[in-house]
Structure 1
Amino acid sequence: MINEFKDFIAKGNVMDMAVGIIVGAAFTAIVTSLVGDIINPIIALFTGGIDFSGWFYELDFDPDQSYASIDAATEAGVPIFAIGNFLMAVINFLIIAWVVFLLVKMVNRVKAAAEKPEEVAPEVPSGPSELDVLLEIRDSLRANGSSN
């Protein structure tokens, strides 16, 4: 069983997967920072600083009690429907997905340029060219025409 485990670990796919997971974790931090520190502030600039994460609905329906924030309602033990947090998660997902799409597209473009085969010189046909053949026919017709 230990030998089977060694064989499994020694396979290239497992090592590639481990490297992918480690790089993916580091990449997640980069993308999260990009979205949180660069893209979201730009969006806030255009939306007037609206923060959807504060939107919530109390589910206990007590008309005498209202809470100023999600934290206050949670501390009071009130069940809440945090629509704003969900909305922000969806917006962040869409932004991250778009950024990852653009990065993958850029990497694929660079990869395709690196793998582009060298341009092959056009094949030179062997034998006389088309012009040579036509000139030969012309000369032959002139020679036959002058002998008549």
Structure 2
Amino acid sequence: MNFKEIAGEFKTFIMKGNVIDLAVGLLIGAAFGAVVKDFTDGIINPLIGYFGGGKDVSLHLWIFDVGLVINAIIKFLITAVVLFFIFVKPMNKLKAMSEKKEAGAPPPPEDIQLLREIRDLLKAGAKPSSLPPSGSPGEAV
């Protein structure tokens, strides 16, 4: 295998949607977890504290602390927004550009198309009907 074949296989592998989703969900999400946490702790929680009276939302209903759930939802939404706009949206645009490039490619030359048809017929076990029965083309049968 040469480098171009390996690079082509790698490009096909990496452009699969499930690989990108998995990478975004696991690796990038873990890498930016600290950034999102610090952003939430440094900016969002003080804003909530300014308007709500405390660092964290604390809303106790009977024995339940609903404020913890609200904090978790806010952190989740911040994480989702960051990942979507920084990774998913650009990757979708890159994938669309790649598909558009492949769709706009000119068709192969006529001789290549003919060779592909012959290859497909041979694979299927059919004999092309336009070939002479046997011998050379000018020979009587």
Report TM bin, short chain: 0.3 to 0.5
TM-score by length of 1: 0.36
Per chain length, whose mean CA-contact separation is higher, i.e. which structure has more relative contact order (CA < 8 Å, sep 6+)?
1
Task: Give the TM-score taking structure 2 as reference length.
Answer: 0.37
